[in-house]
Structure 1
Amino acid sequence: MGGSSEKEKALTPKQARFVEEYLIDLNATQAAIRAGYSEKTAYSMGQRLLKNVEVQKAIAAAQSKRSDRVGVQAEDVLRELVRVGMSDLRKAFTADGKLRPLNELDDDTASAISSVKVVTRPSGEVDEHGNRAVEYVHEVKLWDKNSALEKIAKHLGMYVERVEHTSPDGTMTPAPAVAIYELPDNGRTKAD
């Protein structure tokens, strides 16, 4: 009889190696190859291993351990995605259009900034000593907001995958043909 008193099945050495390799890039086919499975069967073997309950438990445990070790949880990643997805570039500038000093930016705005480039160029003005004035142009680049919003929406289940039922010419794809066969009377009655 199965139950909680039964010992969990241990992974084979190859399965354990698959788990280690899978955590590198989350690619089941490549993990299967690196774990020593045949290249010919690596795709199907990788899929089969991912469906194995013991392998799933080992992957989940390893991911949890790694997450604890580096101090990053799913909520942390989601929080950063929200910072990027809901960012407002206007918060990086003062009312007169000057870039705020970076130490004055709130955490959400600072997290959304990918890079800041400062370009100096002559302004055309000359001071009383005959020196040409320089103006500073700040180019602020944000992380990809659309990508962040898409990831948030997927996480929240807002995207539903749909199957296309139209052909390239715009018409509906025909339903599969249905064959109806009439079975010959075998001489039985309903009472039989």
Structure 2
Amino acid sequence: MENNALTPKQQRFCLEYIKDSNATQAAIRAGYSSKTANEQGARLLANVSIQQEVQRLQKQVADETGVQVKALVQELAKIAFASVPDLLDPVTKEPKPLDQLSAAERACIVEISEITGTTGITRKVKLHSKLTAIDMLMKHLGGYVTASDIIDKLPPERLDQLIEDLLSKLKSNNDRL
């Protein structure tokens, strides 16, 4: 069911946003000016109706594909916490055969290749990027918190008090000079 409270351009933004969760690019693809897309994207995401429509669309995609966020987070965690030594035979230091690896260990592998050289065959194991997986998990779990995020959540009276305290300290420091 489509959200009738949204304009066609806002609806398009929602559809574009669920593709990559990039508000700026979604705004551009939805037809907003590229010069103001960053601000437009942030403004659109602050709109409660748009938030609800994005959530509805994400749920619809999850229901239709059978892919749930929990499963995706679990896959990212496998990659983020993969350990190279677990993939290697402790004696030979060669990659273990796939049937000796757990499902989680196999999930972190992108490619296994063999290189024939003068000293014999060398097996090479390429893993998914741990840093990318950790970054994605941090974003999903809200692990990146900025001072701005904290300040935005403060009640106005507490923020006023902090500003007053800071100004008082600055004045005190200036008086000592």
| Interval containing the TM-score (normalised by the shorter chain) | 0.5 to 0.7
Please give the secondary structure, in 1, of the residue aligned with 2:118.
strand
Q: Which residue of 1 aligns with 2:74?
A: 79
Cα pair 1:28 1:50 within 8 Å, conserved? yes
Computed over aligned residues only, the root mean square deviation of the Cα atoms, in angstroms, reads 3.0
Matched, 1:148 2:133: yes
Aligned mates of 1:64, 1:32 — CA distance in 2: 21
Aligned length: 150
Q: Which runs of 4+ in 1 moved over 6 A?
A: 175-179
Larger radius of gyration: 1
| 1:1-58 per-position Cα deviation (integer Å, ceiling 9, x unaligned) | xxxxxxx862222221222222233333333333333445444333222221111111
**Gap change, CA 1:17 and 1:76, over 3 Å in 2:** same
TM-score, with length taken from structure 1: 0.63
Aligned mates of 1:95, 1:145 — CA distance in 2: 22
Give 1:117's match in structure 2, choosing from 97, 113, 117. 113
Which structure carries more helix by proportion?
2
Please give the secondary structure, in 2, of the residue aligned with 1:59.
helix
How do 1:26-175 residues align onto structure 2 when only pairs under 5 Å count?
26-97=21-92, 98-123=94-119, 135-153=120-138, 155-157=140-142, 159-162=144-147
**Percent identity of paired positions between Structure 1 and Structure 2:** 37
Gaps (5+ residues) in structure 2? 149-165, 172-177
Q: CA deviation at 1:116?
A: 1.3
Q: Which residue of 1 aligns with 2:174?
A: none
Cα pair 1:9 1:54 within 8 Å, conserved? no
Cα pair 1:118 1:136 within 8 Å, conserved? yes
Gaps (5+ residues) in structure 1? 1-7, 124-134, 164-174, 180-192
